[in-house]
Structure 1
Amino acid sequence: MNIQIAGTGMISAAGNTVPTTWNTLLTENRSWQPDPATGLPVYPVGALPKTGPIAEYIHDREVDRTVALALPAAAEAVGAAKWEGRDFAILVGCSRGPTEAWETAYETHRTGQTLPVRTSPNTTLGSVGFALADYFGVGELSDGLSVACSSGFHALVHGVALLRSGMAERVLVGGTEAALTLFTLRQMERLRIVATPTPQDNYACRPMDDPATGMVVGEGAAFLALEAVTEPDGPTIQGLGFSRERCRSATGISREGMALQSSMRQAAAAVGPPDLIVAHAPGTRRGDAAEQLAIQQVFGNQSPVTTSMKWATGHTFGASGPLALVAAVEMLRKQRSILLPYAQLSEPAELHRILVNATGFGGNAVSVMIG
């Protein structure tokens, strides 16, 4: 059995579709701006659809922004896979859940006002998957997972398990995150890991740079349409790895990136090393250094070229893994590597396999090999 990636979709500060995002990655255009409320750098999505079925659904159902971002990315993936009118399961990862709806509702409650009728269903993590299932009219499993910044990749792991077990024929997997809220941004600021770019900087976040710039929060969503096939005619999931390490703090990662070492070894076990690695690399000093050391420990002195997408998208938490994976799929299809625009890196001669990493609070890590 082969797990084929039949379609992809994405939305982020880098673009509202796969083609527009690819253009940003090629042209290396600026995609960040200061947040009006906090002054912190952020990577916001541009405009959401203003007309058509998605815009009508967003308006009529009064959905949280996590759903509003998920809908166009999911629809792009479903359309590319030609799944319209067919049944499929849905697994979506989200670190923060519908935080904008939750924060707004709590402020309404705190000030003694009457809560909107839909407050309860619209503030659950499950609301994202349920909304997608409702929009596409599917009747199979629809579920949400929250495992910090690797949430989207955990959704993919569960989706692959469904396919391999025969419990589903088609699974839409991915992640969505709309974390550019005042409460969330202040949380990140309190961790003292947010970058402080100048207004002239083209990239607010520069993953794996020296010295480390710090993290910049972004928002976005990305989805992949997975199906089990005998003879694939496109990119496939060739390896998966997932692990966890014990950390001194809930936000920590070991110096050696032990969980990442384990997940990368698992993902590469059956097919060998990749030609390119798309790192999690949030731009933080400890996180980037641990991942780079883990890569060296696993692949040695012949470690593959390593890149990251967060200079263009920011850190989109639970959506970051799927966003990077969709970009990796495009690299495979176009046989063109997207490297760090500020680093002197040599492009691989050919791309047969790409490894994508995601890590999250609690010491967890997931690695996905595609080829």
Structure 2
Amino acid sequence: MPNPTDSIIIRGRGRVSALGTSSTSYAAPATIPFQTRSVGSYSLPVAALAATTEYSIAELRRSHPAYRQLDRTVLLALLAARQATAEAGWLASGGLSTPIGRGQLESVTRQQPTNHNQQASISVSVGSSRGATERLEQFHREFLAEGSVSVAASPLTTLGNVASWVAFDAGSTGGAALSHSSTCSSAFQALGNAVAWLRAGMATHFLAGGTEAPLTDFTLAQLHALGIYSTFPAIDWPCRPGAGRPSTFVLGEGAAVFALEQVSADTLATLQQSAQPVFVLEAVGFGFEAIASKTGLSPDGQHFQQAMRQALHQANCTVAEVDAVVLHSPGTPAGDASERAALRTIFGEALPPLLSNKWLVGHTLGASGALSLDFALHVLETQRWPAAPFSTDLATDAARPIRRILINAAGFGGNAASVVVSRL
């Protein structure tokens, strides 16, 4: 029977974004992590992977014959999940092994799938707004040109394809493999499901997070058609959350995955004596609003309010105990204003420091919440974050040590999610 005093800890984590794959990349980006893509008659800034990360993706694709046909969204998830399992020490099937140090990406990329003849209990929960975007568009182009499609079209583009390949690569033979799609809160929906399974005693080890590779011509054209895309060039920090008008939405690609375990109070006390920081996933709250809007966004952010209240209640903490907020803040005037209105309703006018990583990695849709959580863990670990080089309401420092952070995510359809994470 699950013990209500047990805690969910983040044993390991991995990430892939325009900043690279290292957790230290948030400290001080060496160059502006945006590129320019031509789509039809116009050019758009995007937060695409750098050449060094592209090499890692190519190595991963070559590491197993079946991986050569996988969508880029799946490959990003595999790479992030391998980092998380390595850091957690889950490389040995069915149990814990000696953790691989952070930053040793090359060996992790070349890692072969765990022996599938051994019983493994790792469960997987991965969110993605669009899923296999690149392969779906490719198969559709082939259909329009030839009138037929490949036999592999359906299995390679179904959303369940994302989590199942992560589970395969992790060596899971008996754990759950769950895929989620709720637009830009997909990663937190996946995280919440993982927490529920762990607390119910239905799983012992969970890989949970989000992944998205949406930088295709059709997807970029869709976002441009909404009239929210940034007009700033790639060399001038085009994504500017909290800067007001004009809209500065910029699409990015990436993934972040977390290795989750539920531990007893005694185990938690033992972990606190180690040199490594201990991160506790205290809550995952959800909010929904059904309104007559194509985005499902109300001016006062009702879904944000509901999600934050639920998360704070689960974490059994007051607003005064939240030291910072990592915003969803997509850089659109309406979206940014709605979230801040919801924050003022919950926290009052004296808001905690507001943080964001979207000006560094763009908006990665279904992966955005996961990358925001990874950014929050970086802040908890280092007590530092880079200052945005444009006028904004994002904080440059904090008046007190940051020990607990609330992270928001929201998406089209009126759904929002909030996570509370702390460092012991």
Normalising to structure 1: TM-score of the pair? 0.94
Determine if the alignment matches structure 1 residue 350 to structure 2 residue 401: yes
Q: Considering only aligned residues, what root-mean-square deviation do their CA atoms show, in Å? A: 1.8
Q: What CA distance in whole angstroms lies between the structure 2 residues aligned with 1:92 and 1:319?
A: 9
31, 34, 43: which is aligned to 2:33? 31
Cα shift at 1:114: 5.2
Gaps of 5+ in 1: none
260, 263, 274: which is aligned to 1:226? 260
Secondary structure of the structure 2 residue equivalent to 1:111: helix
The corresponding residue for 2:292 is: 248
Q: What CA distance in whole angstroms lies between the structure 1 residues aligned with 2:60 and 2:331?
A: 37
Cα shift at 1:246: 2.2
The corresponding residue for 1:99 is: 133
Q: What CA distance in whole angstroms lies between the structure 1 residues aligned with 2:248 and 2:410?
A: 16
The structure-2 alpha-carbon separation of the partners of 1:11 and 1:249, relative to structure 1 and needing over 3 Å to count, comes to same
208, 212, 217: which is aligned to 1:182? 217
Q: What CA distance in whole angstroms lies between the structure 2 residues aligned with 1:199 and 1:320?
A: 20
The corresponding residue for 2:275 is: none
Deviations 1:53-92 (A, max 9, x none): 5642377541101011111111001111111123310000
Gaps of 5+ in 2: 1-5, 95-120, 272-277
The corresponding residue for 2:332 is: 284
Larger Rg: 2
Q: Which amino acid aligns with 1:15?
A: G
Cα shift at 1:347: 1.3
Q: Is the 8 A contact 2:185 2:417 kept in 1?
A: yes
The structure-2 alpha-carbon separation of the partners of 1:261 and 1:65, relative to structure 1 and needing over 3 Å to count, comes to same
Q: Once structures 1 and 2 are overlaid, which stretch shifts more, 276-285 or 58-67?
A: 58-67
Q: Which runs of 4+ in 1 moved over 6 A?
A: none
The corresponding residue for 1:110 is: 144
Deviations 1:199-221 (A, max 9, x none): 541x1110010324321110100
Q: Is the 8 A contact 2:290 2:414 kept in 1?
A: yes
Q: What CA distance in whole angstroms lies between the structure 2 residues aligned with 1:205 and 1:243?
A: 26
The structure-2 alpha-carbon separation of the partners of 1:366 and 1:50, relative to structure 1 and needing over 3 Å to count, comes to closer
Determine if the alignment matches structure 1 residue 151 to structure 2 residue 177: no
Q: What CA distance in whole angstroms lies between the structure 2 residues aligned with 1:89 and 1:337?
A: 32
Determine if the alignment matches structure 1 residue 137 to structure 2 residue 148: no
- 1:39-118 matches, cutoff 5 A: 39-46=43-50, 47-49=54-56, 55-57=62-64, 60-84=67-91, 85-86=93-94, 87-112=121-146, 115-118=149-152
Cα shift at 1:239: 2.3
Q: Which amino acid aligns with 1:40?
A: L
Q: Once structures 1 and 2 are overlaid, which stretch shifts more, 122-131 or 238-247?
A: 238-247
The corresponding residue for 2:162 is: 128
Normalising to structure 2: TM-score of the pair? 0.83
Give % identity.
39
